[in-house]
Structure 1
Amino acid sequence: MSAARDRMRDAWRADRAANLRYPKSRFVLRWLRVCQRWRETPGRVGRAAYVLTAGGYKIATEWVLGIELPPSTRVGPGLRLRHGVGVVVNPGTTIGRGVMLRHGVTLGNRRTADDCPTIEDDVEIGVGAVVIGAVTVGRGARIGPYAVVVKDVPPGAVVRSPRAEVVMPTSRPGAPGDTRAREAIGGAA
């Protein structure tokens, strides 16, 4: 058997085990692994098979499912794809083993085409998180929902998203939510 076929089968087994309750994720990742296998196969047959499988993959995943995970991306085995909708991964990104990507995640470049992140093994990336630029997210790190990462993240670290603030509009002094009025009468802010 060819080395490309063996790598594809091993990665697909790990992907399948990591996504047992997610049939859409298993479908997408199986197709991704087949595309990657044909991409690595030299010769005319490999090239023709890649063009056919990758063309169908691109139409089905990007245009229909809203998952942009190109076959040229280096993706380790056991990728956990949760829901998948709105996932955008630049082909220059490197993803380790056992990584979890939730919906709305963007992994992309910042200044040049190859200025992309490296996501090490066992990283979890929350809903809507953005990791851009030539940054490294260390092994076992967790990126919270809607976090924006533009600097290296050490192994095991947790990155929280920006805090949410509730701001009440003040149309007139003394209106509900106007802290100036409460402070003026000795109330707590």
Structure 2
Amino acid sequence: MNETLRADRAANRGYVKSRFVLRWFRSCQRWRDDAGLLARCAYLVTAAGYKLVTEWILGIELPPSTRIGAGLRLRHGIGIVVNPATVIGRGVMLRHGVTLGNRRTADDCPVIEDDVELGVGAVVIGAVTIGKGARIGPHAVVTRDVPPGAVVYSPRPEVREHAAVRGGRS
């Protein structure tokens, strides 16, 4: 666990809020994984405070039951929503507005492999795998597997001019 905390801390150098959230997240995970009455009580208190502050105040839904590798990078952290059944590898970057969630059942969630970067507002839905080192662009919506090292761009906006605007006449 100390190695994971060090990796999270190093990955979020200069991001005090991210370090704060991840430290608390890892603490919840530690108490959750321990057996015994004391650990269970500590988990309930720690997780309740974590949920209150991170979800209700900071707008970061990152449940302690989510399996996340060391070195998670949170950038800005506002509006991040992660389903607890999602699996996230080492060295992954989540920017604000990212959603990782289910599609049809409670546990058909994404697997995000190591060193993946998800852009602002990216959405990954369903039982898909995002391959190692892939880059998901801002506002991209991913519903199928992405191979390692691939880049997914957001949809190209379609702009249509109205005839009255184009010609200046009605």
Q: In 2, Cα distance between the equivalents of 1:11 and 1:63?
A: 26
**Number of equivalences:** 170
Aligned counterpart in structure 2 of residue 85 of structure 1, from 64, 78, 81? 78
Q: What amino acid does structure 2 have at the position aligned with 1:54?
A: A
Aligned counterpart in structure 2 of residue 50 of structure 1, from 33, 43, 47? 43
Q: In 2, Cα distance between the equivalents of 1:50 and 1:65?
A: 20
> Partner of 2:30 in structure 1?
37
Identity of aligned residues (%): 72
> Partner of 2:104 in structure 1?
111
Q: Does 1:157 align with 2:130?
A: no
> Partner of 2:64 in structure 1?
71
- Evaluate the alpha carbon distance shift between residue 166 and residue 42 of structure 1 in structure 2; reply closer, same or farther with a 3 A threshold: same
TM-score, with length taken from structure 2: 0.96
Q: In 2, Cα distance between the equivalents of 1:173 and 1:46?
A: 67
For residues 12-27 of structure 1, the aligned pairs below 5 Å read 12-27=5-20
Aligned counterpart in structure 1 of residue 167 of structure 2, from 174, 178, 183? 174
- How far is 1:88 from its partner? 0.1
- How far is 1:173 from its partner? 8.2
TM-score, with length taken from structure 1: 0.87
Give the greater-gyration-radius structure (CA). Answer: 1
- How far is 1:164 from its partner? 1.9
Structure 2: gaps (5+ residues): none
CA deviation digits over 1:88-130, x for unaligned, max 9? Answer: 0000000000000000000000000000000000000000000
Aligned counterpart in structure 2 of residue 94 of structure 1, from 87, 91, 96? 87
Query: Where do 4+ consecutive residues of structure 1 move more than 6 Å?
Result: none
Q: In 1, Cα distance between the equivalents of 2:120 and 2:66?
A: 21
- How far is 1:170 from its partner? 2.6
For residues 102-141 of structure 1, the aligned pairs below 5 Å read 102-141=95-134
- Evaluate the alpha carbon distance shift between residue 168 and residue 98 of structure 1 in structure 2; reply closer, same or farther with a 3 A threshold: same
Structure 1: gaps (5+ residues): 1-6, 179-189
Q: What amino acid does structure 1 have at the position aligned with 2:104?
A: R
Q: State the Cα RMSD in Å.
A: 1.5
Q: In 1, Cα distance between the equivalents of 2:75 and 2:47?
A: 22
